[in-house]
Amino acid sequence: MALLNGSGLTPEIIRSLAFETGFCKRTSSKIDAPDFLVHMCAESLKGTVSHNDMASKIHEETGTDASRQAYWERTDGECVAFFQAVLERVLLSKIEDRAVEPLKQCGKYKRILVQDSTIIQLPLKLFEIFSGVRNASATKCHARIQGIYDLISGKFIKFSIDPYSANDISVASDIPVEEGDLVLRDRGYFKVDVVGELKGKGADSISRYKHGTTLYHPETKEKIELLDLLTLRGSVDMEVLAGSDMSLKVRLLAMPADEETANLRRMKAKKEMKGHAPTKELLDLMSWTIYIVTIEDKSITIKEVFRLYKLRWRIENIIKTWKSEFSFDKTHNVSEHQLRTLLTGRLIMITKCYHDVYVPACEIISKRYGKQVSLMKLMHYIRKHVDHLCDILNFRCWSVKRIQGVANSTLVY
């Protein structure tokens, strides 16, 4: 149980969640929910969990004599619900993070929601459930993981493993906003009518401008030639009308990007076009960082909006690191319930690593040594030393010498 220390997850609470979700139905069961959870989460970082290995390991450590078949049968829909309930509890553990403290102090927004997604490849066995790409030469199965994270409370509001066909734009309206929320999303989720829906519910939003979105001058109702406007003014903070019916009033914010950033955007655009050349106008617009914002309060300046949007890196880095370092490709022909349990177990562990190792490591090493810990490198290190995970997670008990070793290693930049 040391693996989940610090998350408020005592064995009693875990057992309570197991009964609430239907994973456990009687107290006399051979399979103990805390043991099942901890071993499944730890083993999930190595790849697909073998129920035979898990039965042997739990028997060796606890004396519980349950068969491989028993563990396999318990990995069902109730098991998925149990793991998701545990995930929510883990994510309720707030991060000690000075970066978001000003957001809490200002009291402007109750929640700041960041939404992002990633695609993972799955066994072909699951194609009919999750879909993917099928053509004359190949068939590939994919799933799309969606996460909505509240920066202020430090927890996920929503987490789902969806079919590949459920792309970002198709789920743009599904975000559970409340009055007083601020939503930060990239252009993949941008639809004018969805922005209007969020505003109608009392939530503000900051979205990256999506090329091709028609904007109009609020007084003359004339179409705005965006490239001409930016070339003339450089920076822009003005009210515009969006949508073909000009029904939505928003703020258009734009600032010049440095040349290195602009060139990286152009390289990415050419790669994503897959042989289709981007238009000259699109490539030229990449010299600016452009946002569509519904925040009407002009005291929140363009620089503050840019600073707020940069907080997206938090969930982007978590998901990027989770995908690249936590064995996503190590999934053989498992069932849908096994897959969802496995992926949720991995998210539980990367969240624990983020909260209990990365955040305190950043704070201590930055303060003492003036260096920044790389999330990607640190998670790579943890995956390589997963057998010592309990010790690694207890970061605040590390010796000064060991912390110095991290500060002087390749884990920082």
Sign of CA dihedral 303, 177, 103, 9: negative
Which pLDDT tens digit goes with each residue over 298-356? 888 888 888 888 877 767 777 777 667 665 556 666 788 888 888 888 888 877 887 77
pLDDT at 78: 94
Reported as half-sphere exposure (CB side, CA atoms, 13 A), residue 341 has a value of: 30
The whole-chain average pLDDT of the chain stands at 83
Please, which pLDDT band fits residue 297 given cuts at 50, 70 and 90? confident
Which pLDDT tens digit goes with each residue over 370-382? 888 887 788 778 7
Strand partners of residue 412: 373
Cα-based distances in Å from 314 to 22, 156, 340, 359, 381: 33, 12, 23, 11, 20
**Hunting for tokens 């938090």 — which residue is that?**
314
Other CB atoms within 10 Å distance of the CB of residue 397: 8
Please, which pLDDT band fits residue 26 given cuts at 50, 70 and 90? confident
Residue range(s) defining the domain that contains residue 278: 207-306
Pairing relation of β-strands 132-134 and 215-216?
unpaired
pLDDT of 254 above 90: yes
Q: Is residue 97 part of a domain?
A: no
- 107 Cα distance to chain centroid: 24
Q: Is residue 264 part of a domain?
A: yes
One-letter amino acid at 136 equals: A
Q: Is residue 380 part of a domain?
A: no
Q: Is residue 52 part of a domain?
A: no
Q: Is residue 298 part of a domain?
A: yes
Which pLDDT tens digit goes with each residue over 201-228? 999 999 999 998 999 999 999 999 999 9
**Hunting for tokens 């002009």 — which residue is that?**
298
pLDDT at 3: 63
Phi/psi of residue 235, nearest 5 degrees: -110, 150
Q: Is residue 225 part of a domain?
A: yes
Other CB atoms within 10 Å distance of the CB of residue 359: 18
Residue, of 64 and 241, whose pLDDT is higher? 241
Q: Which two tokens stand for residue 115?
A: 């939404």
SS3 content of the chain, % helix, strand, coil (to 5): 50, 20, 30
Q: Is residue 141 part of a domain?
A: no
Q: Is residue 247 part of a domain?
A: yes
The total domain count for the chain is: 1
Percent of the chain with pLDDT over 90: 26
Please say whether the beta carbons of 116 and 312 come within 8 A: yes
pLDDT at 214: 92
Q: Which two tokens stand for residue 128?
A: 């009919």
